[in-house]
Structure 1
Amino acid sequence: MGRFEEAKKIGLRDKASKKLIAVYPLKATGSDKEIEKMVRDWYYKQSCQAEDELLTAYVDVLTENEIKSRQ
Protein backbone atom coordinates (compact mmCIF):
# COMPACT_ATOMS: atom_id res chain seq x y z
CA MET A 1 0.00 0.00 0.00
CA GLY A 2 1.36 3.43 -0.93
CA ARG A 3 1.53 6.57 1.17
CA PHE A 4 -1.27 8.27 -0.76
CA GLU A 5 -3.66 5.34 -0.44
CA GLU A 6 -3.21 5.33 3.35
CA ALA A 7 -3.95 9.07 3.60
CA LYS A 8 -7.31 10.43 4.76
CA LYS A 9 -7.16 13.24 2.19
CA ILE A 10 -4.75 14.28 -0.52
CA GLY A 11 -4.37 17.37 -2.62
CA LEU A 12 -2.09 19.53 -4.70
CA ARG A 13 0.54 21.69 -3.06
CA ASP A 14 2.73 24.46 -4.50
CA LYS A 15 6.40 23.42 -4.59
CA ALA A 16 7.78 26.83 -3.60
CA SER A 17 5.33 28.04 -0.95
CA LYS A 18 4.06 24.60 0.21
CA LYS A 19 0.58 26.17 0.13
CA LEU A 20 -2.33 23.84 -0.49
CA ILE A 21 -3.84 24.56 -3.91
CA ALA A 22 -6.70 22.07 -4.03
CA VAL A 23 -8.12 19.09 -2.16
CA TYR A 24 -8.91 15.98 -4.18
CA PRO A 25 -12.59 15.21 -3.44
CA LEU A 26 -12.57 11.48 -4.17
CA LYS A 27 -11.11 8.46 -2.39
CA ALA A 28 -7.62 7.70 -3.65
CA THR A 29 -7.08 4.10 -4.75
CA GLY A 30 -4.27 2.46 -6.67
CA SER A 31 -0.52 2.88 -6.62
CA ASP A 32 1.06 6.20 -5.68
CA LYS A 33 1.86 6.80 -9.35
CA GLU A 34 -1.76 6.10 -10.40
CA ILE A 35 -3.13 8.32 -7.63
CA GLU A 36 -0.78 11.14 -8.57
CA LYS A 37 -1.96 10.94 -12.19
CA MET A 38 -5.65 10.88 -11.13
CA VAL A 39 -5.25 13.96 -8.93
CA ARG A 40 -3.32 15.90 -11.58
CA ASP A 41 -5.83 14.93 -14.31
CA TRP A 42 -8.75 15.92 -12.05
CA TYR A 43 -7.21 19.31 -11.33
CA TYR A 44 -6.38 19.90 -15.00
CA LYS A 45 -10.08 19.49 -15.84
CA GLN A 46 -11.05 22.16 -13.26
CA SER A 47 -9.87 25.21 -15.20
CA CYS A 48 -7.68 26.47 -18.01
CA GLN A 49 -5.26 28.01 -15.45
CA ALA A 50 -4.68 24.57 -14.00
CA GLU A 51 -2.08 23.68 -16.62
CA ASP A 52 0.26 26.47 -15.48
CA GLU A 53 -0.30 25.68 -11.79
CA LEU A 54 0.46 22.00 -12.34
CA LEU A 55 3.96 22.90 -13.49
CA THR A 56 4.81 24.02 -9.95
CA ALA A 57 2.63 21.63 -7.95
CA TYR A 58 2.94 18.20 -6.43
CA VAL A 59 0.50 15.71 -4.93
CA ASP A 60 0.75 15.54 -1.15
CA VAL A 61 -1.01 14.21 1.93
CA LEU A 62 -3.04 16.79 3.87
CA THR A 63 -2.17 17.38 7.51
CA GLU A 64 -4.76 16.85 10.26
CA ASN A 65 -5.10 20.64 10.64
CA GLU A 66 -5.73 21.08 6.91
CA ILE A 67 -8.39 18.37 6.99
CA LYS A 68 -10.12 19.92 10.01
CA SER A 69 -10.07 23.41 8.50
CA ARG A 70 -11.74 22.13 5.33
CA GLN A 71 -14.68 20.50 7.12
Structure 2
Amino acid sequence: MRTDYDFKNSSLFGPVAFRPEFNNFEQINVAQAWSLFFTGSNEDKIFDSRPETGRFFTQVAGVTVLAVAVWGTFFTGI
Protein backbone atom coordinates (compact mmCIF):
# COMPACT_ATOMS: atom_id res chain seq x y z
CA MET A 1 0.00 0.00 0.00
CA ARG A 2 1.38 3.37 -0.99
CA THR A 3 0.32 6.71 0.42
CA ASP A 4 1.42 10.12 -0.79
CA TYR A 5 0.22 12.08 2.20
CA ASP A 6 2.54 14.65 3.70
CA PHE A 7 1.66 15.13 7.36
CA LYS A 8 4.75 17.14 8.26
CA ASN A 9 2.85 20.43 8.47
CA SER A 10 2.51 21.07 12.22
CA SER A 11 -0.57 23.28 11.79
CA LEU A 12 -2.46 20.57 9.88
CA PHE A 13 -4.00 19.05 13.00
CA GLY A 14 -4.23 22.22 15.09
CA PRO A 15 -7.17 24.58 15.42
CA VAL A 16 -8.09 26.53 12.30
CA ALA A 17 -8.01 29.86 14.12
CA PHE A 18 -4.28 29.50 14.81
CA ARG A 19 -3.19 28.47 11.32
CA PRO A 20 -1.04 31.08 9.56
CA GLU A 21 -3.19 31.15 6.41
CA PHE A 22 -6.37 31.75 8.43
CA ASN A 23 -5.17 34.29 10.99
CA ASN A 24 -4.58 37.30 8.71
CA PHE A 25 -7.31 39.46 10.29
CA GLU A 26 -9.63 38.74 7.37
CA GLN A 27 -13.38 39.10 7.70
CA ILE A 28 -15.23 35.82 8.20
CA ASN A 29 -18.88 35.28 7.49
CA VAL A 30 -21.55 34.17 9.95
CA ALA A 31 -21.47 30.56 8.74
CA GLN A 32 -17.71 30.35 9.37
CA ALA A 33 -18.11 31.86 12.83
CA TRP A 34 -20.74 29.30 13.85
CA SER A 35 -18.66 26.49 12.29
CA LEU A 36 -15.71 27.53 14.44
CA PHE A 37 -17.95 27.73 17.51
CA PHE A 38 -19.56 24.29 17.09
CA THR A 39 -16.31 22.50 16.20
CA GLY A 40 -14.13 24.14 18.84
CA SER A 41 -12.10 26.03 16.21
CA ASN A 42 -11.18 22.82 14.39
CA GLU A 43 -13.13 23.47 11.17
CA ASP A 44 -14.45 26.63 9.54
CA LYS A 45 -16.26 25.23 6.53
CA ILE A 46 -18.99 22.88 7.82
CA PHE A 47 -21.71 25.45 7.08
CA ASP A 48 -20.14 27.00 3.94
CA SER A 49 -22.45 25.16 1.57
CA ARG A 50 -25.48 26.62 3.39
CA PRO A 51 -24.83 30.18 4.61
CA GLU A 52 -28.44 30.56 5.78
CA THR A 53 -27.64 28.10 8.57
CA GLY A 54 -25.34 30.69 10.14
CA ARG A 55 -28.07 33.32 9.99
CA PHE A 56 -30.52 30.83 11.54
CA PHE A 57 -28.25 30.19 14.56
CA THR A 58 -27.68 33.93 14.98
CA GLN A 59 -31.42 34.60 14.99
CA VAL A 60 -32.07 31.73 17.43
CA ALA A 61 -29.45 33.18 19.81
CA GLY A 62 -31.02 36.65 19.54
CA VAL A 63 -34.55 35.40 20.11
CA THR A 64 -33.39 33.38 23.11
CA VAL A 65 -31.79 36.44 24.70
CA LEU A 66 -34.92 38.48 24.01
CA ALA A 67 -37.19 35.78 25.48
CA VAL A 68 -35.11 35.59 28.66
CA ALA A 69 -35.20 39.39 29.00
CA VAL A 70 -38.99 39.49 28.56
CA TRP A 71 -39.44 36.58 30.98
CA GLY A 72 -37.28 38.34 33.57
CA THR A 73 -39.17 41.60 33.12
CA PHE A 74 -42.63 40.15 33.62
CA PHE A 75 -42.02 37.38 36.13
CA THR A 76 -39.41 38.71 38.59
CA GLY A 77 -41.83 39.69 41.35
CA ILE A 78 -40.45 43.19 41.79
More strand by share: 1
| Same fold by TM-score greater than 0.5 | no
Q: TM-score, normalised by structure 1?
A: 0.29
Larger RCO: 1 or 2 (CA < 8 Å, sep 6+): 1
Larger Cα Rg: Structure 1 or Structure 2? 2
Structure with the higher fraction of residues in helix conformation: 2
